[in-house]
Amino acid sequence: MSRTVGIAVTGATKRAMSTSGKTINAGELFVSSDLSKRYAQFRPKLPVEHVNTIVELLGRKPGVWVDVGCGPGTSTQQIVGHADTIVGVDISETQVEVARQTHQHPSLSFVQGTCDKLPAEDCSVDVITAVQAAHYFDLPAFFKEVDRVLKPGGIVGLVSINTPKCVDSSSMDSARSCISDLITKHGLPDKVKLLEDNYKNLAMPYPTRKDHMVDIRTSWSLDDYLDVLMTFSPINNMIKSNGMTVKEGRGHVTQLLKESGMTAQDINSVYTWSQPCALVTATKP
């Protein structure tokens, strides 16, 4: 296992990131430890309701649970206590390092690896999850690997977290549409669409598909939301392609929000935001 900050991006992964004339390389996107730390601080966690649903579907406490695209381990940590052995896997050594520093538990380990080459023996894993990560994967290669390592009766669960919508002030609608335009402009359209549709159009490897939904509620000001937004890949693309610092990128988005009609009071008032969080599961026959 490499201990350097070099990223082993497979040919399959590179191909998966290149669509619609735009190229996003996951290995390059997630190499900044600053980004990993902001991720750990601001991104929503895997809801425990989804963890419970997976355990109920399996019908027993999982022995081995692999969380692929684990990032800084925020969601992987949510699985502690629900499985005997939990392994977080991520293509980015930087994310893996932050995960190791942040989350320590005897049942938990983090490994650098790719979705098409998981660190597990054939038929040895009870559950495989990917939280807010499957849309980056070469899905046919990932599903082949899922089928290799899952035990019969094992579960694959893919989680998507939709963009936040303010539930108690319509004055935030123009902010949402301004942010949505930015995401559309700087993201890969097919991946943005998969997330917007709560993974409804993501084909699963087995015919036992089930869709489960949890509404994540958060109290934020628009200014707080900008911290989360600065971790979104399309916004990081915008920052990188314009040669901006994160602070400059944040300032740029704030300016766009003001131009869309948001006042300083709008930006600083705390509201309730809703993020639909879908879990799509399938059981290996």
Ligand X SMILES: C[S@@+](CC[C@H](N)C(=O)[O-])C[C@H]1O[C@@H](n2cnc3c(N)ncnc32)[C@H](O)[C@@H]1O
Is the Cβ of residue 28 or residue 224 nearer to ligand X in the bound state? 28
- Distance CA(72)–CA(210), nearest Å, equals 27
Whole-number minimum distance, CB 192 to ligand X, in Å?
13
Strand partners, 220: 271
Whole-number minimum distance, CB 103 to ligand X, in Å?
12
Whole-number minimum distance, CB 209 to ligand X, in Å?
21
Closest residue (Cβ) to ligand X? Answer: 71
What is the DSSP code string of 111-151?
EE-BTTB-SS-TT-EEEEEEES-GGGS-HHHHHHHHHHHEE
- Residue length, the chain? 285
Is the Cβ of residue 92 or residue 237 nearer to ligand X in the bound state? 92
The amino acid at 27: G
Whole-number minimum distance, CB 98 to ligand X, in Å?
10
- State the alpha helices, DSSP H only, in 233-278: 233-241, 246-259, 264-268
Is the Cβ of residue 75 or residue 198 nearer to ligand X in the bound state? 75
Burial class from Cβ neighbours inside 10 Å (0-12, 13-18, 19+) for residue 72 reads buried
Whole-number minimum distance, CB 198 to ligand X, in Å?
15
Is the Cβ of residue 17 or residue 172 nearer to ligand X in the bound state? 17
Is the Cβ of residue 146 or residue 172 nearer to ligand X in the bound state? 146
- Distance CA(78)–CA(120), nearest Å, equals 21
The residues that touch ligand X, with contacts defined as CB under 6 A, are: 13, 26, 30, 39, 43, 68-71, 74-75, 90-92, 95, 114-115, 131-133, 136-137
